[in-house]
């Protein structure tokens, strides 16, 4: 059986649709990238009062929530490798907000803990989330829904990344 040829109009329509997928404004990755950059700009202004950068704020959030952690666990929470995390921790330590010490249980592991100053900063940081929420223009339900969708997207993409095999093409 011979395949039915595609009519030229349909082929042109398919080509136009494919071209539209290659537009920058059609890329979800670019929308997420642009939103992330916009968030970073808002955080930069808000966090200036705390003397923290956005990545440093994320480190502090994990430590305020979890308490003392090995660097490796902290990196897992933040999805950061030690090469990225170490300079952040060094700056936080220089600022007197955290202390890094070799684990007594495992000399290979470095534990990170908040100092008294780091713990006290939490009281001022409580004002950050409401200011960020206000900057989004979303109500709390919309923020929760967006966060849940992004978490689901992240999980799906993580799973897809593990399914990739050498030689696969996007």
Question: Could you read off the pLDDT of 102-128 as tens digits, one per residue?
Answer: 877 777 889 999 999 999 999 999 999
Q: Is 92 found in the same domain as 40?
A: yes
Please give the average per-residue pLDDT across 25-41, as a whole number. 95
Q: Is 110 found in the same domain as 79?
A: yes
CATH number, domain with residue 94: 1.10.10.10
Average pLDDT, the chain: 89
Q: For residue 165, what pLDDT is reported? A: 55
Query: Is 7 among the domain residues?
Result: no
Q: Tens digit of pLDDT for each residue in 83-92?
A: 999 999 999 9
Higher per-residue confidence, 43 vs 13: 43
Quote the domain boundaries for residue 109: 33-126
Residue 5 has pLDDT above 90, yes or no: no
Query: Is 144 among the domain residues?
Result: yes
Least confident span in 7-16, 61-70, 71-80, 85-94? 7-16
**pTM across the whole model:** 0.81
Please give the average per-residue pLDDT across 49-61, as a whole number. 97
Q: For residue 123, what pLDDT is reported? A: 97
Nearest to 138 by CA among 146, 148, 126, 149: 146
Query: Is 5 among the domain residues?
Result: no
Please give the average per-residue pLDDT across 147-159, as a whole number. 95
Please give the average per-residue pLDDT across 144-167, as a whole number. 87
Q: Is 115 found in the same domain as 39?
A: yes
Q: Supply angle C-alpha 74, 79, 84, rounded to 5.
A: 75
Q: To the nearest 10°, report the CA torsion of 73, 79, 84, 86.
A: -20
Q: For residue 102, what pLDDT is reported? A: 87
Decide: 77 and 119 in contact? Cβ < 8 Å. Answer: no
Name the pLDDT band for 161 (thresholds 50, 70, 90). confident
Q: Look at the chain and report how many structural domains it folds into.
A: 2
Q: For residue 11, what pLDDT is reported? A: 57
């Amino acid at each position: 059986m011979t395949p039915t040829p595609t009519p030229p109009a349909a082929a042109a329509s398919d080509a136009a649709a494919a071209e539209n997928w290659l537009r920058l404004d059609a890329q979800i990755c670019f929308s997420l990238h642009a939103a992330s950059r916009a968030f970073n700009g808002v955080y930069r202004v808000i966090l200036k009062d705390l003397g923290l950068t956005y990545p440093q704020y994320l480190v502090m959030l994990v430590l305020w929530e979890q308490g003392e952690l090995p660097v490796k666990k902290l990196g897992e929470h933040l999805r950061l490798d030690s090469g990225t995390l170490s300079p952040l921790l060094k700056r936080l330590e220089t600022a007197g907000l955290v202390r890094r010490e070799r684990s007594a249980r495992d000399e290979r592991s470095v534990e990170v803990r908040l100092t008294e100053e780091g713990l006290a900063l939490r009281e001022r940081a409580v004002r950050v989330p409401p200011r960020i929420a206000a900057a989004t223009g979303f109500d709390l339900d919309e923020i929760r829904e967006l966060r849940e969708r992004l978490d689901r997207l992240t999980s799906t993409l993580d799973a897809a990344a593990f399914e990739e095999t050498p030689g696969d093409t996007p």
